[in-house]
Amino acid sequence: MKYFAYGSNMSLPRLRARTPSAVRIGACRLEKHALRFHKAGQDGSGKCDALQTGDPDDFVVGALFEIADAEKAALDRAEGRGFGYLDKWVCVTDLQGQHFDALTYYATRIDAALKPYSWYLYHVVYGAEETGLPLTYRAALEGVEAIEDPDSDRDARERAIYL
């Protein structure tokens, strides 16, 4: 199954902890969507959402992966499907203009006042660099205001996958 990740799951170490079969295909664009960090996470912080705007000037850049169909349930659990995210099929386009149908997740619980924790934003930026997203897009991600997680143990656990 093809899966389009635009947030923390762009990070291959993070995604493989959830779906060990994940293989990155490459960078892709999702048209008529805009990246927001307004999904209400269970930890009280903001997570990524590919908000469908319908505006032809809007797009989200992310990573396209191939994952085993048998791992979909594990990905659903990790993403909190039914508890803040739902999934949908989208058509994404790679840098060579090839189109792919892929599964992605979108937020159903949003709060525009939320900010991501710095460890979460680190996953997103790490994945963007790994995938080779355009420099201007990566700079925009690096410019997102993040806050420190009051749970320093969780922060350490999240960052430990890169050690």
The stretch 36-55 carries a mean pLDDT of 97
Percent of the chain with pLDDT over 90: 99
Residue 58 backbone dihedrals phi, psi, to 5 degrees? -90, 145
Query: Which candidate, 82, 102, 81, places its Cα nearest to that of 91?
Result: 102
pLDDT band at 159 (very low <50, low <70, confident <90, very high): very high
Neighbours of 25 (CB within 10 A): 18
Q: In whole angstroms, what is the distance from residue 127 CA to residue 85 CA?
A: 20
Per-residue pLDDT tens digits for 103-126 = 999 999 999 999 999 999 999 999
> Which residues touch 136 (CB under 8 Å, ≥6 apart)?
none
Task: Enter the pTM of the model.
Answer: 0.97
Pair 26, 127: CB distance under 8 Å:
no
Q: In whole angstroms, what is the distance from residue 75 CA to residue 83 CA?
A: 13
